[in-house]
Amino acid sequence: MEDPVASRVDHLHSPLRWFRIGGWILLALLATQMALRTLPKAWHTLNTDFPNYYLTASLVHEGYDTSRVYEWLWFQRQKDHREIDQRLVGMVPITPFSTLLIYPLTSLPILTAKRCWLIFNLGLLVATLSILRRMTRHPWQHLSLVAVLSFPLRVNLLFGQYYVLLLFLLTLACWLYICQKPFLAGIVVGLATGLKVFPAFYLLYFLRKRDLKAFAGGVLGSLGSGVASIYAFGCELHRVYLFQVLPSALRGEGLDPYNLQAASLSSLLHKLFIYEPQLNQHPAINAPWLFAGLHPLLQMMLMAPALLLAAPNETCPRRVHLEWAAILLASLAISTSPASYLFTLLILPACLIWGVLREEKRNWWLAILLPLYAVAGFVGGTNNEAAGWIAVLTVPRLYAMVLLCAFAYAVLVSQESSKSTKRDRLAWALALAAILTLSIVFNLRHQRGLYADYQQRIPIPKGVFMAVHPTAEEDGLLFVGMQHDGYRSAVERFGAIHFSKGHDDELGIAAANGIQWVEQTGHESKIISASGGSTSIQQAESPVASFDGRWLAFLREEHGRTRIWIRALGQSVARDSPLTPPEFNVLEMSFLPGGEIVFSATSGGGHPGLFVSDRVGSVRSLGMGEVRYPSISPNGRWLAYSELQGGNWNLWLRDLSNGQTHRLTDAACNNTEPAWAADSQALIYASDCGRALWFSALCRRRIIY
DSSP sequence for 427-488: HHHHHHHHHHHHHHHHHHHHTTTTTGGGGGEEP--TT--EEEEEEEETTEEEEEEEETTEEE
Whole-number pLDDT of residue 598: 94
**Model pLDDT, residue 22:** 63
> What does the pLDDT look like over 344-395, one tens digit per residue?
999 999 999 998 888 887 878 888 898 899 999 888 877 777 788 999 999 9
Q: Which of 312, 347, 354 is nearest to 329 (CA)?
A: 347
φ/ψ (deg, to 5) at 104: -65, -15
Residue type, 560: G
Return the C-alpha torsion angle 443, 444, 446, 450, nearest 10: 130
Which residues, other chains included, contact 655 with Cβ-Cβ below 8 Å and sequence gap of 6+? Answer: 637, 638, 661, 662, 705
- DSSP track, 39-56: HHHHHH---TTHHHHHHH
Element (H, E) at 577: strand 576-578
Q: Which residue in 591, 562, 580 sits closest to 617, CA to CA? A: 580
Identify how many contiguous H helices and E strands the chain contains and give both numbers: 22, 24
pLDDT of residue 1: 45
Angle made by CA atoms 309, 310, 316, in degrees to the nearest 5:
125
**Pairing, β 638-645 against β 627-632:** antiparallel
What does the pLDDT read at residue 344? 93
Residues in the chain, overall count: 705
Return phi, psi of residue 194, to 5°.
Answer: -65, -25
DSSP secondary structure code for residue 103 in this structure: G
DSSP symbols for 350-393: HHHHHHHHHHTT-HHHHHHHHHHHHHHHH-----TT--GGGGGG
Which phi and psi (to 5°) does residue 48 adopt? -60, 135
Picking from 47, 643, 636, the residue whose alpha carbon sits closest to that of residue 340 is 47
pTM above 0.85, yes or no: yes
The distance between the two most distant Cα atoms of the chain, rounded to a whole number of Å, is 112
**Alpha-carbon span 412 to 64, nearest angstrom:** 50
What's the DSSP call for residue 596?
A: -
What region, left, alpha or beta, does residue 300 occupy, with left being phi > 0 and alpha being psi -120 to 50 degrees? alpha
Q: What CA–CA distance (Å, rounded) separates 224 from 100?
A: 13
Give the SS3 label for residue 589: strand
Q: Is the dihedral of CA 217, 218, 219, 221 positive or negative?
A: positive
| CB-based contacts of 92, cutoff 8 Å, min separation 6 | 70, 72, 245, 248, 249, 254, 255, 693, 694
Q: Of 263, 258, 301, 268, which is closest to residue 377 (Cα–Cα)?
A: 263
* Rounded Cα distance, 316 and 170, in Å: 18
Q: Which residues pair with 651 in a beta bridge?
A: 642
How many Cβ atoms sit within 10 Å of the Cβ of residue 589?
25
Peptide bond into 576 cis (omega under 30): no
Whole-number Å distance between alpha carbons of 634 and 615: 19
**Is the backbone peptide bond immediately before 93 cis, with ω within 30 degrees of 0?**
yes
pLDDT at 12: 42
CB 488 within 8 A of CB 500: yes
| pLDDT tens profile 106-137 | 999 999 999 999 999 999 999 999 999 999 98
Q: Which residues pair with 91 in a beta bridge?
A: none
**In this predicted structure, what is the pLDDT of residue 507?**
93
Give the three-class secondary structure for 35. Answer: helix
Distance CA 242, CA 229 (A): 13
Q: What is the pLDDT of residue 532?
A: 59
Identify the DSSP state of 243.
Answer: I
What type of residue sits at position 65?
D
Going from the C-alpha of 193 to that of each of 345, 364, 378, 603, the distances in angstroms are 14, 35, 26, 32
Nearest to 394 by CA among 402, 403, 383, 385: 383
User: Domain coordinates of the chain in residue numbers?
Assistant: 7-160+229-250, 258-447, 452-702
- Euclidean distance between CA atoms 260 and 639, whole angstroms: 41
Positions of the chain with pLDDT lower than 50, given as ranges: 1-2, 5-13
Sheet holding 457-458, edge to edge: 457-458, 697-702, 682-687, 671-676
Q: How far apart are CA 639 and CA 554, in angstroms?
A: 20
CATH superfamily of 452-702: TolB, C-terminal domain (2.120.10.30)
- 50 with 86: CB under 8 angstroms? no
Q: Of 633, 277, 635, which Cα lies nearest the Cα of 472?
A: 633
Judge whether 299 and 269 are in contact, CB under 8 Å: no
3-class SS at 156? helix
Q: Which helix H or strand E contains 516, and what residues bound it?
A: strand 515-521
Q: 109 burial class (0-12, 13-18, 19+ CB within 10 angstroms)?
A: exposed
Region of 490 (left: φ > 0; alpha: ψ -120 to 50; beta: rest) is beta
Read off φ and ψ for residue 381, nearest 5 degrees.
-100, 150
Residues forming beta bridges with residue 687, ordered by sequence position = 671, 697
Q: How far apart are CA 645 and CA 649, in angstroms?
A: 7
Could you read off the pLDDT of 15-61 as tens digits, one per residue? 556 566 766 677 777 778 888 888 889 888 888 789 999 999 999 99
How many Cβ atoms from other residues are within 10 Å of residue 238's Cβ?
Answer: 19
pLDDT of residue 404: 95
What pLDDT shows up at residue 10?
46
